[in-house]
Amino acid sequence: MSENATEITWLTIPQLAEVLHETPGRVRRLLDEHYLIGSRRGGALAVPEVFLVDGRPLPSLRGTVIALQDAGFSDDEVIDWLLAEEESLGRTPIAALLAGHKSEVRRVARALA
| Domains identified in the chain, total number | 1
Q: What is the pLDDT of residue 45?
A: 96
Tell me the per-residue pLDDT of 17-47, one tens digit each, with 9 for 90 and over: 999 999 999 999 999 999 999 999 878 999 9
d(CA 51, CA 48): 6
For residue 2, being part of any structural domain is answered with no
Mean pLDDT of 76-97: 97
CA dist list (Å): 61 to 28, 43, 84, 89? 16, 23, 15, 16
At residue 3, the 3 state secondary structure works out as coil
For residue 1, being part of any structural domain is answered with no
For residue 102, being part of any structural domain is answered with yes
> By residue range, what is the domain housing residue 106?
7-111
d(CA 64, CA 94): 10
For residue 70, being part of any structural domain is answered with yes
Q: How confident is the model at residue 5 (pLDDT cuts 50, 70, 90)?
A: very low
